[in-house]
Structure 1
Amino acid sequence: MTTNTTERVALVTGGSAGLGLALSRELARRGWRVITDGRSEEKFKEAGLPGTVTVVVGDLTDADHRDRLQAEVERHGRLDLLVHNASTLGPLPMRPLGEVDVADLMQVWRTNVGGPLVLTSALLPWLRDADGVLLSISSDAAVQHYETWGLYGASKAALDHVTLTYAAETGLRAYAVDPGDMRTAMHQDAFPGEDISDRPLPETVVPHLLALVEARPEPGRYRAADLGGDRS
């Protein structure tokens, strides 16, 4: 496979809000060609992403949607960065493990682990050709044990494992990054009725992620707070 552009190309899943939106905006501002996706066309209209960003509306768990993402990567001609940001908390309100069932598990697993796994496999030729970076957004719940966070935490632990196994199997630079608490709609969903205004905005995390992408250290699991970049 031969790349047909010298501009760096990124695919960021879940780019209609929160960290995915902030990251897509900043990448575009820095001159990257960005592809992003999300389930809500209305949210993308509200997001006001630059016209240079390619938006593909759909659900990552849908095979046809993943095919459209792959087609966009092929059209752009290369892939330097794949960011698995799209995720779900599962059924709300979040419940203890003793109160969830297989259907709940499958909902979380398909979005947080299955979709990223098969999308990565489909895009490996482009990532390898560009010597690209695989970046998965993790959580402290992947390594800590919080009441009602069992399904989500287990899925993020699995995503970490899948991501770093890709590094072992392919030689790609692959990272699982815990961004820390953020002031996002998903975080608010996890704490209904609580004031989360003290959490940092997702825009403050983006410089740390991009510092990691540029530095390209050894594959591994990182905390955004420990990485370079200005989080002010």
Structure 2
Amino acid sequence: MTNTALITGASRGLGLALARTLADAGWRLVLTARGRDDLERAAAELGATAIAGDVTDPAHVERLSLAVPELDLLVNNASGLGVTPLPRLGSYPLEAFKLLLETNVTAPLALTQAVLPALRARRGAVVNITSDAATGAYPGWGGYGATKAALEQLSNVLAAEEPDLAVWWVDPGEMNTRMLADAVGAEEAAAAADPAKVAAALHDLVRSRPAGGRVSLQ
């Protein structure tokens, strides 16, 4: 039986690295991201299904759920950084914060709800990608960190409510990605971990299936 994974934010960074790792392990993949060209290149490379779109769009969430009538793994990896340069909370634009909450909290919950029947049928797993900004008080990271803290609590409750599923909220640590470069600069980001190494650790997590909970990979 072939395992099926749905990965959001799969056109670059950790999402793409994890897709490559799972493809090498024989998984069937459904990939989504907003950037159609990059996503379709990734899907062609991996023999995956590409469904481009915005995870905050309910119609797109429905398309994704219809594409995975059988699902073993949902990876809510798509995420927004918010306003850059990163502002302090005292001056954080509230409309921008609402949009960030929609991307980083509401959208993962909506997609999880949409695919829960498929996950339950296969006793599947959910990986929600979080951050140490969810628990640490880092100046400038308050907006982003608050959304990740909310995602962690959603994950925590989901794990309690769905005991037949494995639910992990995973802090991957700093990775050399475009998002980190946007936040701290390209030079500092270049010194961070290779997303491929983090993806390998994530695959080990899924394969070994420990009890659900918060997982720090670095």
Structure 1 length normalisation: TM-score?
Answer: 0.90
Deviation at 1:205, TM superposition (A): 0.4
Per the alignment, residue 64 of structure 1 pairs with 59
Per the alignment, residue 181 of structure 1 pairs with 174
Which is further off, 48-57 or 176-185?
48-57
Taking the TM superposition and a 5 Å limit, the aligned residue runs for 1:130-209 are 130-171=122-163, 172-192=165-185, 194-209=187-202
Which is further off, 122-131 or 38-47?
38-47
Distance (Å, rounded) in 1 between the aligned partners of 2:39 and 2:216: 28
What is the Cα-based RMSD across aligned positions, in Å? 1.4
State yes or no: 1:7 paired with 2:2.
yes
Per the alignment, residue 48 of structure 2 pairs with 53
Unaligned runs of 5+ in 1: 1-5, 226-232
Counterpart AA for 2:17? A
SS in 1 for 2:51: strand
Q: Kindly tell me: are residues 216 and 196 of structure 1, through their superposed partners in 2, closer, same or farther at Cα, counting changes over 3 Å?
A: same
Distance (Å, rounded) in 1 between the aligned partners of 2:173 and 2:132: 7
Counterpart AA for 2:52? V
State yes or no: 1:220 paired with 2:182.
no
Structure 2 length normalisation: TM-score?
Answer: 0.95
SS in 2 for 1:35: strand
Distance (Å, rounded) in 2 between the aligned partners of 1:21 and 1:170: 28
Match of 2:100 among 105, 108, 113: 108
Match of 1:87 among 79, 91, 96: 79
Unaligned runs of 5+ in 2: none
Q: Deviations over 1:193-225 (max 9, x none)?
A: 644221121001011111111121111101113
SS in 2 for 1:11: strand
Distance (Å, rounded) in 2 between the aligned partners of 1:84 and 1:175: 11
Contact 1:28/1:50 (8 A) holds in 2: no
Aligned residues: 217
Distance (Å, rounded) in 2 between the aligned partners of 1:97 and 1:54: 40
SS in 2 for 1:70: helix
